[in-house]
Amino acid sequence: MLIPWRRRVILFVQRFWQPTSACMTCMPGSLGNILSIPHWALALQTGLFTGILALLLSFTPARKLFANRHGNATLVGLLTMAGDTFSHPGHYGIPGLEAVATGIVSGLIALAGSYLFEDRARRLRALWARMRGREQADL
C-alpha cells in the first residue's frame, strides 16, 4: 500500500503542529513566554524535526501505525520525544523529563485530534449545532 504525496504532506503538517503545541505547553514558563521568539524557535524546531521523522517513517512498513488511532498517538509521542531531545536540552533539571512530558502531551493531542476531526469533524459539527440550539439531521 503506497501513501500518495498529498497524504504525506498532510501527515507532515499534522506531525508538525502537534509537537509544536506540546512543546509550547511543556516548556517552563510557556504561558508567560507565549510571545517569546526563542521559545517559539525551540517549539518550531521540535515540530519540524518530528514532522521530518514522521515523513521518513511514511516510506517504511511503520506507516501502518499511522492508520490506527492508538498506534498513531504512540508513534507521535515517541517521535516528539526524539524531536524534543534532539532540539534542545531539557529545562526541568532531570535529563529527558521534559522530552517525556512533551511526548506524552503530543500523543494525547494526536489522540484527541483523531476523535474530534474524524469523519469531517462530525463531533465538532454536532457540538456546534447543539450550542446554536439546532440539531442536524445528517449527523
Q: What's the pLDDT score for residue 19?
A: 85
pLDDT of 74 reads: 92
pLDDT digit string, tens, across residues 56-69:
988 889 888 888 88
For residues 113-120, average pLDDT = 76
Report angle CA 71, 72, 77 to the nearest 5 degrees. 100
**Which residue, 13, 25, 20, 74, is CA-closest to 44?**
20
> Does the pLDDT at position 7 exceed 80?
yes
* Segment 86-114, tens digit of pLDDT: 877 776 777 788 888 888 988 898 888 88
Q: How far is 8 from 6, CA to CA, in rounded Å? A: 5
- What global pTM score does this model have? 0.73
